[in-house]
Structure 1
């Protein structure tokens, strides 16, 4: 499998050149079924529309074909991070302060590796977090293995779609 740091060095400048921020790169799969997942967002809206995904995909397809950094055959998937987005950059914890999240640490932090609660922002390289069971904790960003927002009504309200054009319309019987 290809090195994520090398892929990031290749992909991030291309995503930025189109005016977007790279959220995450993930390469997964086994056997003959591999996927290179690219999550990106418009820094102003924190979302992508389908045309944005297509533009990123076209640009990255050309770059990846030329550089050929992945030995195995793979499928390229470009998407928005979604509503219950992964938290991958330190500034994500500041931007989404006040929202519920789950954080898994690589090592024990105040006796625990798993946290669920409310983001309190950042201080230096630490994530300020109010865990439902442990109370206020400081989690060093370097120890975060995985983190994502939890789907709540507050999060839904904060991430209303840019447009509902093209969304399925449903009729209900009365």
Structure 2
């Protein structure tokens, strides 16, 4: 089965469980790192996620995944918080974190740069828009962006 299909099927299974507990399903990731496969489920809630929250979701979905048995490879199941410097992937993430500092990484450089930082203006016409320290706004076509992450400055 294709990685994207696995992520979509797991999302369909996990979403009702996270909603039942009033958690946000941030992302589902099925990825190979070295010789091992990982199924990572990122959850969040106001005030943050605890280890007990992660354990609760893990214990509820693990038997369902075992029963459905649609993932051919052996894998490690991880349920965790997306972290403070969470990636922004979904449209709602770009709305939720407007006005916050972000780092935008590109697949290919623009004027010799692949990494840009600034305040998130938002997602406008499928372009990620940030405002740099100089108050200049910069737009990036979404398909040219490899990642967008929140930046937490202490």
TM range (shorter): 0.7 to 0.9
Residue correspondences, number: 151
Match of 1:116 in 2: 117
Q: Is the 8 A contact 1:126 1:139 kept in 2?
A: yes
Give the distance between the partners of 1:96 and 1:149, measured in 2 at CA: 8
Corresponding position: 1:35 with 2:35 = no
TM-score by length of 2: 0.78
Deviations 1:2-34 (A, max 9, x none): 432233233223322322111111122256522
Larger radius of gyration: 1
Separation (CA, whole Å) in 1 of partners of 2:18 and 2:58: 9
Instruction: Return 5+ residue gaps in structure 2 as ranges.
Output: none
Name which of structure 1's ranges 134-143 and 95-104 shifts more when overlaid on structure 2: 134-143
Partner of residue 12, structure 1: 15
Go from structure 1 to structure 2 and tell me whether the alpha carbon gap of 1:55 and 1:106 turns closer, same or farther (over 3 Å shift): same
Residue number among 22, 25, 50 corresponding to 1:22 in the alignment: 25
| Larger fraction in strand | 2
Which residues of structure 1 form unaligned runs of 5+?
154-174
Cα distance in structure 2, aligned partners of 1:58 and 1:146: 30
The answer to whether the aligner puts 1:92 opposite 2:83 as a matched pair is no
Find the aligned partners of 2:90 and 2:39 in 1 and give their Cα distance. Answer: 19
